[in-house]
């Protein structure tokens, strides 16, 4: 494994982290979906690099599945969904953006310190990226809990899965193909269910604010 290959993987890891910060600070729903697609492209690039450097041929299939699912299919579904829902609002956050960015920085520091002792036991070519993968997961979770609308929370969940997949490919050279196909199918089925769920919320309350679900609980 050459130093150049390691640097390329670290470059993709840095792009994933920067996009995670951009998604955390983004207020426009359309731009957020586009950032998710770009994050998927970075994930495809890192997977192809690991596949080429290690000779793990199943990772080429993983990269192909990721491209179809994360770069093409899911962004197309999300764009179609917001058009059907006639979503024109900005993303509402429970806390202001500067505070969220500061919390994001704290999460990055925490993730690197948490992953450092684990990375010492890894023999992979990109063991230093484990901290970045964990940081992306934590920041995606932060994006989920600080959004009041359903669509950004769905994107946060998908971005969290991106971080987990990046950790799997860079630190352990991926998962068995059967597992990856099962996860891809689960994500697609989940998107269909969430789409139906959002239409029901919109029809009932004329809004996608999840706080309206408290009314159902009270009723």
- pLDDT per residue as tens digits for the range 156-211: 888 888 888 888 777 665 555 444 555 555 565 566 556 555 555 555 545 545 45
Which of 155, 113, 145 minimizes the C-alpha distance to 132? Answer: 113
pTM metric for this prediction:
0.78
131-164 pLDDT per residue, tens: 888 899 899 888 888 887 777 878 888 888 888 8
SS3 94: coil
112-124 pLDDT per residue, tens: 888 777 666 555 5
Which of 169, 99, 159 minimizes the C-alpha distance to 135? Answer: 159
SS3 174: coil
What is d(CA 28, CA 88) in angstroms, rounded to the nearest whole number? 9
Contacts of 87 (CB under 8 A, 6+ apart): 29, 151, 208
Query: Residue 125 pLDDT > 60, yes or no?
Result: no
Backbone angles phi and psi of 5, in degrees to 5: -60, -45
19-56 pLDDT per residue, tens: 999 998 888 888 888 999 999 999 999 888 888 887 77
70-112 pLDDT per residue, tens: 899 888 888 887 887 776 566 667 778 888 899 999 999 998 8
What is d(CA 64, CA 59) in angstroms, rounded to the nearest whole number? 8
SS3 205: helix
């Amino acid at each position: 494994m050459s130093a150049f290959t390691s640097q390329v993987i670290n470059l993709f890891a840095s792009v994933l982290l920067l996009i995670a910060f951009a998604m955390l600070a983004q207020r426009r729903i359309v731009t957020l979906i586009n950032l998710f697609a770009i994050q998927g492209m970075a994930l495809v690039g890192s997977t192809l690099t690991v596949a080429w450097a290690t000779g793990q041929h199943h990772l080429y299939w993983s990269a192909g599945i990721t491209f179809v699912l994360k770069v093409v299919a899911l962004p197309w579904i999300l764009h179609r969904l917001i058009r059907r829902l006639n979503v024109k609002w900005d993303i509402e956050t429970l806390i202001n953006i500067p505070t969220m960015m500061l919390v994001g920085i704290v999460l990055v520091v925490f993730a690197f310190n948490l992953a450092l002792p684990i990375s010492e036991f890894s023999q992979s070519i990109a063991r230093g990226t484990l901290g970045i993968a964990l940081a992306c997961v934590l920041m995606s979770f932060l994006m989920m809990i600080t959004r009041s609308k359903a669509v950004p929370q769905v994107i946060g969940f998908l971005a969290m899965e991106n971080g987990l997949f990046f950790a799997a490919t860079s630190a352990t050279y991926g998962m068995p193909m059967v597992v990856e196909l099962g996860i891809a199918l689960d994500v697609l089925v989940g998107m269909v269910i969430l789409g139906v769920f959002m239409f029901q919320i919109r029809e009932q309350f004329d809004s996608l604010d999840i706080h309206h679900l408290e009314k159902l609980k009270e009723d």
